[in-house]
Amino acid sequence: MKLKDKTAIVTGAARGIGKEIALALANEGANIAICDIDKAALEQVKSEIEALGRKCLIAVVDVGKSGSCEDMVNKSLDKFSRIDILINNAGITRDALLMRMKEEDWDAVLTVNLKGAFNFTKAVCRTMIKQRYGKIVNIASIIGIMGNAGQANYAASKAGLIGLTKSSAKELALRGINVNAVAPGFIQTLMTDKLTDEQRVAMLKLIPLGSLGKPKNVADLVLFLVSDASSYITGEVIKVDGGMVM
């Protein structure tokens, strides 16, 4: 197993991409600490992780609050003694055209998507530096690269996450810590399940491979980036989008 005896924190892991990543890491031997705002869903993911023979810690965390993030990191250290991997996956959307976007919706998206990643990265830094080892993967989006009408807040948060990735990678490289970002395209999640047939057809026309991605496609790339196979890769933003943005 590629991640035997490693410990990973995955944020926003109650469902979708975050859950898929947590299970993929556990399947490769890692013990997992997961957080989200839905405790019942977290309990279900915990049971699936433990069924794989791994240890799991769950926490209800508001990633926008630094104290809450630090508390989870401390609890993870108490339980597992080390933190090798951080996956900043927690994210929300509050879509609206720019001229109609509410200030609170702008603030909410930037707080969860960008500040949340900053909070957790800062919280694990000291431990990873002492270990002289760490793998941090930020889940960005192709929207942070190309922009999208009606998603100014989301695009800004994901573009900011890419900037955070590159700056963190430069700061932490000499401490043995790799920091990379994954930019998914249109992935089959609860969000895309809400699309109308017309919207789905229009979307598929933009994707050269002709299909929506699956959470597993993202998890497979994350698994590579947190493994020793990626030891000479840092500061990169890798798209998982079926060729949509080239």
Kindly report, residue by residue over 34-86, the tens digit of the pLDDT: 999 999 999 999 999 999 999 999 999 999 999 999 999 999 999 999 999 99
Average pLDDT value for the chain: 96
Closest CA to 150 of 101, 203, 186: 101
Per-residue pLDDT tens over the stretch 3-27: 999 999 999 999 999 999 999 999 9
Whether the predicted model's global pTM rises above the 0.75 cut: yes
Taking 80 as the threshold, does the pLDDT of residue 191 lie above it? no
Determine which one of 80, 106, 120, 154 is catalytic: 154
Q: What is the pLDDT of residue 190?
A: 75
Label residue 200 by pLDDT band (50, 70, 90). confident
In order of 25, 36, 39, 58, 60, the CA distances from 68 in angstroms are 24, 11, 15, 13, 9
Q: Tell me, yes or no, if 154 is annotated catalytic.
A: yes
